[in-house]
Structure 1
Amino acid sequence: MTSDRDWTGRVGDIWATEWRRTDRSFERLAPVLNAAIVAAAGPQAGTIVDIGCGAGATSLASAQALPDGQVIGIDLSPKLIAVANHRAGSLGNVAFRCADVASAVGMHAPVDLYVSRHGVMFFADPVAAFAQLDEAAAPGAALVFSCFAERAANRWAVETVAGADDASGPTGAMTAPGPLPLPIRPMSRRC
């Protein structure tokens, strides 16, 4: 699976180079996620933190749709943050930080809304990371994110494993950070 070191190095560099392709791959998801973010923000957008913001697409869409909010995109990759800053241009209500979101979020407290397009899947220790996010959350804060469901619910993952030489695929519980670490069940909770 993908580690912090991967995102601050080779993997993050590749994603920074391929950001346009990544945005295109999410072109059907983006309007749905962005609408959910705007709905959760309500009239008083406040402070919005984009977890694992990558090249900034979700942060920028949030900043444009919620001009009274302050959006902070946080990602581990210096090159992705450089792309996001370039894309932001003169948009005044968005800022990007190269940091581990779990350790950096306290500087932006209280956070009214957390958002993430697939970034929440990569916490090395999800329990500790979400505890940090909860500590920095304002009363009534919300979390809006997209992520993959368990491997069996993702046709592309099942077909990829079936097409490999070892069709048995991974066995046991996968606990490393990444898009398909553990079976999950949908849940909704306000902080």
Structure 2
Amino acid sequence: MTRKTPDNFLVVDDDPVFTQVLARSLTRRGFNVIVAESAEAALPLAKRHQPVFATVDLKMEGETGLIFLPKLLEVVPECKVVILTGYSSIATAVEAIKLGAINYLCKPADTDEILTALNKEEANPEQGIAEKPMSVNRLTWEHIQKVLTENDGNISATARQLGMHRRTLQRKLQKRPVRE
């Protein structure tokens, strides 16, 4: 009788509580979970363990998830990656997918949502678009995120381009994005 070894699952997140809960839940579901608190710590682990799946936090100390994602996929090209974030925006979602993420989820995301996102092979073109337009606050948030992405995360350059003080922009970025 052959025993199938569990798939390796890499969790890269700087939130220790979220990471612990997710790792425990994934372990109960039969995965061999490898945890890293930063992109810098995750890369050697990915090389060694060759994960089949990964979740990567978008905003971490050091390298962001968007900077880390191509490096991870270079080391483990077949890895299916979901980007997780508490600060979602259309610009970062589009960038994550362009860089090779299979999906992009807003925190808090539970294990079922993450596994469902990882198992989607492609986007559903039949899915309808919400008819309710975004609020002005949400549009502002999305625009700031788009300009920030265009400036490779450089806050000073983004503030200049938006015509606002750097500290004002930093305060806006520290707040959670407005719901639609």
- TM-score, with structure 1 as normaliser: 0.36
Which has the larger Rg? Answer: 2
Higher relative contact order at CA 8 Å, sep ≥6: structure 1 or structure 2?
A: 1
